[in-house]
Amino acid sequence: MARRALTNNRRIFLCSYDVAEDKRRTKLFELLKDHGEHVQYSVFLCSLTATEVKRLSTCATEIIHQQEDQLLVIDIGPDEVDWTSSLSCLGKSWSPSVRSQII
């Protein structure tokens, strides 16, 4: 029997959107809420695999209007790396929510 290495292939993505119309904005908000943590008005942190990023991009493309709206997806890095130590926050403090995986 072949053994598979149990590796964490998730990466953290910072997703931020600017959507002109309320209905599309709400749909995109709900999509991102299903994939990550809502951290600011139009900003989410998502822990995603490569397949999940593609699926999210496909769904978002179906929602937004290419000439009017924008979704930025920034790869922060591997999920297991503590990137919060390089985070600087001015004003109201922010700390990541505790995430757990249910298998």
**pLDDT tier for residue 89 given thresholds of 50, 70 and 90:** confident
**pLDDT tier for residue 1 given thresholds of 50, 70 and 90:** very low
The better pLDDT of the pair 87, 5 is held by: 87
Query: Mean pLDDT score of the chain, rounded to an integer?
Result: 87
pLDDT of 103 above 80: no
- Using CA of residue 68, residue 76, residue 10, residue 97, what is the dihedral sign? negative
Write the DSSP symbol of residue 17.
Answer: E
Q: Compute the chain's Rg from CA coordinates.
A: 15
- The arrangement of strands across the sheet holding 43-48 comes to 36-40, 43-48, 11-18, 70-78
Q: Directed axis angle between helix 50-63 and helix 22-33, to 10°?
A: 170
- The tokens of 87 are what? 């985070």
**pLDDT tier for residue 26 given thresholds of 50, 70 and 90:** very high
pLDDT (mean) for 3-21: 83
Share of the chain above pLDDT 90, in %: 66
- Which amino acid is residue 70, in one-letter code? Q
- Using CA of residue 36, residue 86, residue 102, residue 2, what is the dihedral sign? positive
Write the DSSP symbol of residue 81.
Answer: S
pLDDT (mean) for 51-79: 95
Question: Domain 11-79, what architecture?
Answer: 2-Layer Sandwich (3.30)
